[in-house]
Amino acid sequence: MPSKIPDGATRGWIIPIGGAENKENDRHILERFVKVSGGSDADIVVIPTASRMAETGPRYERLFTEIGAARVSSMDFDTRRDCHEPGRLQRLEEASGIFFTGGNQLRLTTLLGGTPVAKLIRIRNAHGVAVGGTSAGASILSEHMIAFGDEGSSIISGSVRLAPGLGLTNRFIIDQHFRQRDRLGRLLTALAYNPFAIGIGLDEDTAAFIGPDETVEIEGSGGVTVVDASEVTFSSMDSVSEGQPVCMLGLKMHMLVAGATFNLHTRLAGAAALMPPKR
């Protein structure tokens, strides 16, 4: 469950990124992550556990250092025993920003789920620390996580498997590489199981910066598909066999781009300001 925000405190930013964020030319997403983590005073811990590539952690260390963070450390977890080490917990206590890389989200939940590290990250976010992640690192941020599922645009019973995520919030379900991998159907199927949550489908090189006031701000070159199932009037999920299509009536969908917003509390979307015509 999400940690309680202390009286007088504000929750830290939650930043899911759809994967393949620009790391070379326009690093606007990563730059803003550093900014909300403290800017030139940012102290960032990178957790590359989802990836099995040895260079992943050092690469993000270099990127965040080049952008201007004051201190960046990579902290991998190979066993659940690692999640109990006092030195690692102390380093997370010091951080102003925590970033999960891409890879395999089930590797993250298998190694970190239910450990002191997972609990501490929830607590630190509730106390104001920014927590973000890209691709698999985005999927795990919420309470309900898409572990895997089929591609396609149809809602199909049994086509998605959900698992417990990190639990920073229970307000949304994330899916990443959204348009590139044709994942509308699996996000809608996940919402058919859990219509309380908001579905957020993130294209590559696109991020949802979710502020302490529950406002989602879109950054990046792609789009974000927001699906609100709270006003669904009918769902056949409970009556169809596995592998069969599901009927859902009353879904509400928004297509957002950079500058647009969505409030997770009021469930109202706002358009990006129109750019002046080029001369």
For residue 3, give the 3-state DSSP assignment: coil
Identify the bridge partners of residue 145 per DSSP, sorted by sequence position.
Answer: 163
- Is residue 204 part of the annotated active site? The answer reads yes
- Using CA atoms, how far residue 143 sits from 5, 244, 259, in Å, is 16, 27, 26
- Is residue 235 part of the annotated active site? The answer reads no
- Is residue 265 part of the annotated active site? The answer reads no
Terminal CA-to-CA distance of the chain, rounded, Å? 52
User: Which residue in 141, 46, 45, 157 sits closest to 149, CA to CA?
Assistant: 157
Catalytically annotated residue among 177, 217, 219, 235 = 177
Rounded distance between C-alpha atoms, residue 74 and residue 131, angstroms: 14
Catalytically annotated residue among 204, 217, 219, 235 = 204
User: Which residue in 74, 143, 76, 148 sits closest to 105, CA to CA?
Assistant: 148
Tokens linked to 48: 């590359």
Catalytic residues: 135, 177, 204
